[in-house]
Structure 1
């Protein structure tokens, strides 16, 4: 992500300069509505475009912010500046409860759930006598700074758009941080992120909360801008329209939120004038046009209009990071020589009537590389997933350094010092190589989202990126750390995964086919890295089909066939075994 302070200061300075222009009141009002919509859409970009969570209920959170300040200012005389904090508290509590319930859902159930609670809140607002039912509340106080009314015209424009840009910069800061990398992994790599120690449910609830609070601020401003509140702007129609703005502008781009809000508002107003003239009759025909436009955007520009800007004026990648001055991260104690680090005792996994792993047992000691080999379908990767908590055991037990870890989640297992790679490479294509690798050090940092948004996490961020850079150099990819990971060939992607696993400072490293896709020299370099790691006391469990590599680096080997352990021994013993030759070649001769 870019970290340019000067352009941000220029944007902030433009707001009062634009206010000095002789703009007609109509266009000032239009820009104010665009700003209000942008606040909601910014939250949706974070939630839907980046986090991958579809919500149709954001308009209801706008309503909570609007109704809270309206009722409190009318019935208690509380200052509007204080009602904002009350609204944020109510919205935050509502979002936490709703998020805890609904964000455990996946597929089409999540958007259906957001529709349900959005409708529920809408009808609650419309049926409460205290809120004026469907007539709403009138005569809301203006926003005053001393004797200055900032809820109308150009003063409101300056106040609103400064907030819009500050919120946008806060999101850019968030995405350029440790929690930001975790958030960006939610959409396409949540399983991988859990294996790196990321609490994905917590981060889903977190971005849901941020999006709700942004919507609440928009509702608070809307109430004092309009001086009246009724349920109409907070129904399902507006929930869909906010999502339309995010998709049209570019759901994966912060600036796409403002683009989508501006285009939607301007087109809506112009179509309401032009379409009746063209058709000869009045009606809500602009909704039909919006529907057609949305289909076309999804078909031909699925990443939204801002993707065109990103395509022709790509973002500058950070290549000038000063990581040399950053202090190193703390390292976990290594196990003693020959200490038993992993015990797999009669582990079994059944999928219905299929026994994928059948009572497999073995143990590993510190500073040892153990190979787990066998023909395709032997159950090697399933055994990996049982050890790392990705799959649950049907029976048996797994112990790590004397502690039973079977039954723990992959996140809890990662906390204890076990890192892994995957049979099929898992990475975030639109993040740089350095950012992907830094995700592996997630558990070694502690700063949260608020610190990142306020940019108070820079010292820790430098340490995490320094560690990631060191691990990339360790596997021979130091010159490619600023490339987009999606541009890498398969071989470098494998090395990226190894570097990411090493970033977690593991005592036990599990590598699932790390040499797949590597060229000969890359395999030799990998073998050198594995030997070096063994000398440093790291234990490695290696699943691999490249027998030359396995025979070069492994101290012991476990051979599996049809989910069972066929034999265990040193590489020469395995090579000489008739049973192993029969398993691989179908004959003992």
Structure 2
């Protein structure tokens, strides 16, 4: 709590300084030139904040944000000068147009990956830039002049000093909106996009749509910046909306700290002031001929990124200590739970499941069943096809032939998020956590489908009641698996055994009927395996059904109710653990045969 109060003090100090600057009396009166520079820092910050969300957190590089700034600027310029529309109505129209254009572009572009994604953003960024410069209605490359003055509460914002407050109010609202979004159910899903797409899908997140959502949100922020730019300049032309400026916006986010919201503001300030300083100083030192500032600027940026690869904000953030954002409320209404099946009820039926990759048969007509209240072990040597079978059940892969049913309904053609919605939770062979998020937040991702608040409710902080219920449920599952002392620790700081148990807590947060564990004992020490086995027995006593994929026969022998043994994609044995242990085919697979 003390750290949280300390952070708030720095935040309020920042507000006081920024909003006092234009009205400081002599002799510390701030010149008009510096107010103009601060205005541009604010405008650039709004765009860079969107890029933090899109690139730093969502993992999608975009070089085309300047074109969205242009859409916002040209929308208000055209409507106010040609039709006399109120600038505020023009803002709404500009945001809607930008949102629709971003939606169409996002549905296409966000499906790309690797180097194709940034190349795609360059393509449509250039297309919009040349569109601005070639349309007669937009004045071609001469642009549009005579944009009216903004009026707020009867006050005309005629000068940079007057519009300064509006710009920085929008900057702060942008920061708060993105922070509110990231500290929500939707925000946790967004943070899982970068490197955790498969995990997010398994928890019920529609990752493809989530990418489009944050792409549109970043575009809308850019359009708002363009609206303010147009009324600050009172004129627009295509020059500020080209690829060069798109690269600069991305640079600002990276230099400040591409994964930090406040880093966008810091990055915008650093680059704007540095460029201005170089343009003033270098001609005096090196002469007017030559564009030396670009060369020096490039060298300084390379050095900066070499020694501060995560940006500058992590160094500054040391002076802004803060506690964890997510916390467990004292009182919260419990989330609804699905009805539990009766002991012995048939849950999962795998009937002659087959998976071929070209000519390779990875799973060869495998069949087995899982009933309610059982722990079933699917075991075999490395390369036996266990994980492939597991992925068929969880929707990561679809079978070439055969059927998989869960509680009487076929699931073999469903996606991972559709399967988890039916009550199957899972963990992963290789731990998939978000290491910089707390244990509490990681587990809460598992409850994604049990909440309903969308982006707008999250941004406006209208999701507090639901967030309380989700956090309370996450804390309940953390206590259930015995990790309560690590609730606010970063997940990446836990030992491997604790991380695997954390994954089980996250899967339990999905409110599953059947829990699928993919080699949960891999890499664990003997004592950690014993603790894991004790946890699984406890879950079985509470009515949980478990399908356990494992290659460690010692681990599963005294834990499971039945064992299914695979080798080279084929089921070679099934039965009680003591029966399977004596099966000649199993001994052959594990030990190479016995005398």
* TM-score calculated relative to the size of structure 2: 0.96
Residues in 1 aligned to 2:51 and 2:76: alpha-carbon distance in whole angstroms: 23
CA contact (8 A) 2:160 2:232 kept: no
Q: How does 1:230-269 map to 2 (within 5 A)?
A: 230-269=237-276
1:32 paired with 2:35, answer no
Residues in 2 aligned to 1:48 and 1:81: alpha-carbon distance in whole angstroms: 29
Q: Which residue of 2 aligns with 1:570?
A: 576
Residues in 1 aligned to 2:402 and 2:472: alpha-carbon distance in whole angstroms: 40
Q: Which residue of 2 aligns with 1:527?
A: 533
User: Structure 1 unaligned runs (5+)?
Assistant: none
Residues in 1 aligned to 2:460 and 2:14: alpha-carbon distance in whole angstroms: 18
Q: Which residue of 1 aligns with 2:454?
A: 448
Residues in 1 aligned to 2:342 and 2:46: alpha-carbon distance in whole angstroms: 55
CA contact (8 A) 2:328 2:475 kept: no
Residues in 2 aligned to 1:415 and 1:486: alpha-carbon distance in whole angstroms: 27
User: How many pairs align?
Assistant: 588
1:309 paired with 2:320, answer no
Residues in 1 aligned to 2:323 and 2:360: alpha-carbon distance in whole angstroms: 49
CA-CA distance at 1:275 after TM superposition: 1.8
Residues in 2 aligned to 1:488 and 1:305: alpha-carbon distance in whole angstroms: 27
CA contact (8 A) 2:4 2:321 kept: no
CA-CA distance at 1:81 after TM superposition: 1.2
Residues in 2 aligned to 1:146 and 1:439: alpha-carbon distance in whole angstroms: 43
SS of residue matched to 2:129: helix
Q: Which residue of 1 aligns with 2:105?
A: 98
**Deviates further, 337-346 or 97-106:** 337-346
Q: Quickly say closer, same or farther: Cα 1:373–1:172, change in 2 above 3 A.
A: same
Q: Which residue of 1 aligns with 2:594?
A: 588
CA contact (8 A) 1:425 1:497 kept: yes
CA-CA distance at 1:535 after TM superposition: 2.3
1:297 paired with 2:320, answer no
CA-CA distance at 1:322 after TM superposition: 4.6
User: Structure 2 unaligned runs (5+)?
Assistant: none
1:16 paired with 2:19, answer yes
Q: 2:165 is matched with which residue: 150, 158, 163?
A: 158
CA-CA distance at 1:97 after TM superposition: 0.5
Q: Which residue of 2 aligns with 1:477?
A: 483
Q: Which residue of 2 aligns with 1:433?
A: 439
CA contact (8 A) 1:579 1:588 kept: no
1:395 paired with 2:401, answer yes
CA contact (8 A) 1:319 1:482 kept: no
SS of residue matched to 1:540: strand
Q: Quickly say closer, same or farther: Cα 1:158–1:235, change in 2 above 3 A.
A: same
CA-CA distance at 1:301 after TM superposition: 1.8
Residues in 1 aligned to 2:66 and 2:158: alpha-carbon distance in whole angstroms: 21
Residues in 2 aligned to 1:352 and 1:313: alpha-carbon distance in whole angstroms: 57
CA-CA distance at 1:323 after TM superposition: 2.7
1:341 paired with 2:344, answer no
Q: Quickly say closer, same or farther: Cα 1:375–1:146, change in 2 above 3 A.
A: closer
Q: How does 1:415-426 map to 2 (within 5 A)?
A: 415-426=421-432
Cα distance per residue 1:467-513 (max 9 Å; x no partner): 11111111111100111111122111111111111110100110011
Q: Which residue of 1 aligns with 2:180?
A: 173
CA-CA distance at 1:6 after TM superposition: 4.4
1:361 paired with 2:361, answer no
Q: Which residue of 2 aligns with 1:82?
A: 89
* TM-score calculated relative to the size of structure 1: 0.97
Residues in 2 aligned to 1:334 and 1:289: alpha-carbon distance in whole angstroms: 67
